[in-house]
Amino acid sequence: MFDTPLQRLTPNGDLLGESPLPLEEIRRLYQAMLSARVYDRKCSVMQRQGRLATYAQFEGQEASQIGAVAALRKQDWVVGTYRDAGAMWFHGYPWVNLILGRTGDERGGRAPDGVNVTPPSITVGGHMIHAVGTAWASRIKGDDSVSLTLFGDGATSEGDFHEAMNFAGVYKTPTIFMCQNNGWAISMPRDRQTASKTIAHKSIAYGVAGALVDGNDLLAVYEVCKQAVDRARAGEGATLIEALTYRMGPHTTTDDPSRYRTNEGVEEWAQKDPIERVRRYLESEGAWDPAWQAEVESEESDRVETAVSEAEALTPWTADEIFEGMFAEIPPHLAYQQSLLRRRP
Amino acid sequence: MTEMNIAQAVNAGLATALEDERVVLIGEDVGTTGGVFRVSDGLLARFGPERVIDTPVAESGIVGAAFGMAINGLKPIVEIQFMGFTYPGFDQIISHVARIRNRSRHRFTAPMVIRIPYGAGIGAAEHHSESAEVIYAHTPGLKVVVPSTPYDAKGLLLAAVEDPDPVVFLEPIRMYRAIREDVPDEPYTVPIGVAELVEEGDDVTLIGYGAMMKEIGAAFELLTASGVSVEVIDVRSLVPLDTETIIESIRKTGRAVVVQEAPRTAGFGAEIVAQIQEHALFSLEAPVERVTGWDTIVPLRRAEKHYMPSTEDIVQAAHRTLLS
């Protein structure tokens, strides 16, 4: 079990077996992956320019994130982390919010109404159980929404991973656990994170379905996620998916990976790039041309620029506003503290 | 009206709350056995296993799952078995429950109640006697209430369930079955953030909450019998704290004894004392006295009495304020 990851597209873009998606939909998802990469690279640049605070790149993980969210419906939940901007955005969380968050502004954490995407979890591992709770609530309320939670290989070492998986197993909640095993938890390699042969193996102990998938293969990720989503919606419980991918960049912009890894892995995984392999496939199907690519890249670049300008144009919180997020109504002791701050020269 | 104790009043409050389909009760052994203190007795039979949920032993999982339910439209009531067992779930409370309104700027909220039996005095095992209320009071984003009577227990519980923000609801273990009083059968709330002026007097104010109200009540009797006019305030709500009621009382009496069962250093009593000196220093006729537990681990059964603040401690403290 879990000997080989499911693959639908080879790194050369050759299709193995049936495609789970029509060509037009693959084009749409390809475009989304490109957009995510444009955003990701721009954010890294802007961080170096001093316009954004610390940034966590997700380059290399676009297929895992876009492919997973592609299997959801609008009303479903996405509960992810600081490295899941691609997934959050593709489920309706605007770039401007994500950028706001990275400029150091809590207003970025507010998903638009009707978009069930939680603010990215910053502490590692505590959020997975939330996707058990949101999924459970959906069932109690009698709606058929499912909840997708994204996390890395490092998060599976947290005790909260165990509690979340165990609850999902016991209560058969409609939760999809999407582990993006990107090989590294800051400096800690995957083989020192767990003695388990694969992370997918852990599903067996919890009595939930498990899947191992090539996380750089958009079609394969979509396929296993769609199966997991269908199972969850049908009341058949949770699935743990391990998507094998690679963190091409540093942990965050404050990290220096040369302290703990050589460039070998990066070079090896660059050959398995999730975007390039779909491009090759589309090209072989006559559904890609360089002009379209350039157009998508430039449009997305403009969109991200606009989002940055919007975020930067927003006036920072006033002293008053820092009190306003704490409770539905400001209680007297906070109102008093607010008055003290107002008097600060 | 039905005469009941605190455990029964909480049970009645839970039953009323569960009439709302958005409310679920979740915790270890809350269903089949009715909770280790039998506070949720009979609720499983009435509301079913989908709404009264027995969980695996996993405090982080319980709080975290309830949090997920809360942001998706339910109103969970969590039961932690003993305060000393909260710590494995504490990251969920501090990092997620207390913060979500702010970090999502009101898009997601956690209207949940975390019920925690707390306190010593029943000779329980290690980790079963904690009074760590100040940790919750110190965490921005949480409300913290502590009933000391059956009437308040039901009313504050229903107010906590109605509240749009997370409320930590502390149940004094020692008081669960210590007192009985008439409790209305119909739903009612006791507002969060309002202290109760239990007794009116002119010479000294005794201020406390939870299980300590029993010692304060006994001290009131003794002091009154010896001719002292004593005012008594049951704080009831640590966050938000009803500073006004406390300050008004100090302006009248000029003397205060603040009582807490918790360890002395940085306890909630210190916050009350600080509020008094900030807002009523010039009304004070004497230094404010504190009667507290010690900065020790609560001793096990055979030595527990050395830890507990006593009626006599409170009486003596009141007399010390009256010397000035």
Average pLDDT, integer, range B13-26? 98
Residues A261-276: b if buried by 16+ CB within 10 A, e if exposed: eeeebeeebeebbbbe
Neighbours of A257 (CB within 10 A): 18
Comparing CA positions, the residue from B144, B138, B151, B95 lying closest to residue B118 is: B144
Q: Would you say A115 and A77 are in contact if contact means Cβ atoms under 8 Å apart?
A: no
Residues counted in chain A: 345
- B72–A127 CB contact, under 8 Å: no
CB B75 within 8 A of CB B161: yes
Q: Which residues contact B49 (CB under 8 A, 6 or more apart)?
A: B31
pLDDT value, residue A232: 98
Q: Please state, in angstroms and rounded to a whole number, the distance separating the CA atoms of residues A181 and A265.
A: 14
Q: What is the β-pairing status of strands B230-234 and B196-199?
A: antiparallel
**ipTM reported for the complex, 2 dp:** 0.96
Is B71 in the A-facing interface, judged by CB distances under 8 Å? yes
What SS3 class is residue B27?
strand
> Residue A319 phi/psi, 5° resolution?
-55, -40
- Residue-by-residue DSSP string for A44-110: HHHHHTTSSS-----TT-HHHHHHHHHTS-TTSEEE-BTT-HHHHHHTT--HHHHHHHHHT-GGGG-
CA diameter of chain A: 70
Of B67, B109, B241, the CB nearest to A133: B67
Contact A106 B60 (CB under 8 A): no
pLDDT at A39: 95
Residues of A in contact with B68 (CB under 8 A): 79, 129-137, 147
Q: What confidence score (pLDDT) does residue A321 get?
A: 86
Q: Which residues of B touch A159 (CB under 8 A)?
A: 60, 88
| Kind plus residue range of the DSSP H or E element containing A151 | strand A147-152
Share of chain B above pLDDT 90, in %: 98
Q: Are the beta carbons of B69 and A131 separated by less than 8 Å?
A: no
For B122, the 3-state DSSP assignment is: coil
Q: How far apart are the C-alpha atoms of B263 and B122, rounded to whole Å?
A: 17
Q: Please tell me if residue A177 touches chain B, with a CB cutoff of 8 Å.
A: no
- 3-state class of A188 per DSSP? strand
Interface test with A, best of B47, B53, B63, B72 (most A CBs within 10 A): B72
Compare all CA atoms of chain B with the CA of A121 and give the residue at the minimum distance.
B96
The pLDDT assigned to A319 comes to 82
B36 burial level (CB within 10 Å; 0-12, 13-18, 19+): middle
Determine whether the interchain pair A129/B243 forms a contact, defined as Cβ–Cβ distance below 8 Å: no
pLDDT digits 0-9 by tens, B190-216: 999 999 999 999 999 999 999 999 999
Residues of B whose CB is below 8 A from A130: 64-65, 67-68, 71, 96
Nearest by CB to B105, which of A141, A167, A325?
A325
Q: What percent of chain B is modeled with pLDDT above 70? A: 100
Q: Does B243 touch chain A (CB under 8 A)?
A: yes
Q: Is A127 noted as a catalytic residue in this protein?
A: no
Task: Check A141 against B72: CB less than 8 A apart.
Answer: yes
Domain ranges of chain A: 23-314, 318-345
Question: Is A318 a residue whose pLDDT tops 90?
Answer: no
The verdict on B176 touching A (C-beta cutoff 8 Å) is no
Own/partner pairs for A191-198, CB < 8 Å, 24+ apart? A193/A153, A193/A154, A193/A156, A193/A157, A194/A153, A194/A156, A194/A157, A197/A2, A198/A2, A198/A242
The model's confidence at residue B117, banded by pLDDT at 50, 70 and 90, is: very high
Helical H segments across B130-227, by residue range: 133-137, 150-162, 212-225
Of B60, B141, B244, the CB nearest to A326: B141
Look at residue A29 and tell me whether its pLDDT is greater than 80: yes
Which of A113, A135, A326 lies nearest to residue B102, judging by beta carbons? A326
Do B90 and B142 meet the contact criterion of CB atoms below 8 Å apart?
Answer: no
Asked if B141 is an interface residue toward chain A (Cβ–Cβ < 8 A), one would say: yes
Across the range B104-108, mean pLDDT stands at: 96
Q: How many helices (H) and strands (E) does chain A have?
A: 12, 7
Of A109, A119, A136, Cβ closest to residue B68: A136
Q: What is the mean pLDDT of chain A?
A: 95
Of residues B131, B184, B190, the one with CA closest to residue B161: B190
Q: Which domains does chain B have, with CATH numbers?
A: 2-183 (3.40.50.970), 196-323 (3.40.50.920)
Using a CB cutoff of 8 Å and minimum separation of 24, what contacts does B243-246 make?
Answer: B243/A332, B243/A333, B243/B275, B243/B279, B244/A332, B245/B194, B245/B195, B245/B197, B246/B195, B246/B205, B246/B207, B246/B272, B246/B275, B246/B276
Residue A328 touches partner B, C-beta closer than 8 Å: yes
Contact B64 A132 (CB under 8 A): yes
Architecture field, domain A23-314: 3-Layer(aba) Sandwich (3.40)
**What does pLDDT average to over chain B?**
97
Catalytic residue, candidates B128, B138, B279, B319? B128
Confidence of residue A345 (pLDDT cuts 50, 70, 90): confident
**Residue B310 pLDDT more than 80?**
yes
Contact with chain B for residue A326, Cβ under 8 A: yes
For B252-277, the pLDDT digits (tens) are 999 999 999 999 999 999 999 999 99
Q: Residues B58-83: pLDDT tens digits?
A: 999 999 999 999 999 999 999 999 99
| Residue that has been written with the tokens 């002293």 in this structure | A319
Query: Which 288-317 residues of chain B touch chain A by CB within 8 A?
Result: none
Binned at pLDDT 50, 70 and 90, residue B109 comes out as very high
**pLDDT at residue B324 tops 90:** no
The answer to whether residue B92 scores a pLDDT higher than 90 is yes
- Residue A261 designated active-site: no
Sign of CA dihedral A19, A20, A24, A28: negative
| Residue A251 bears catalytic tag | yes
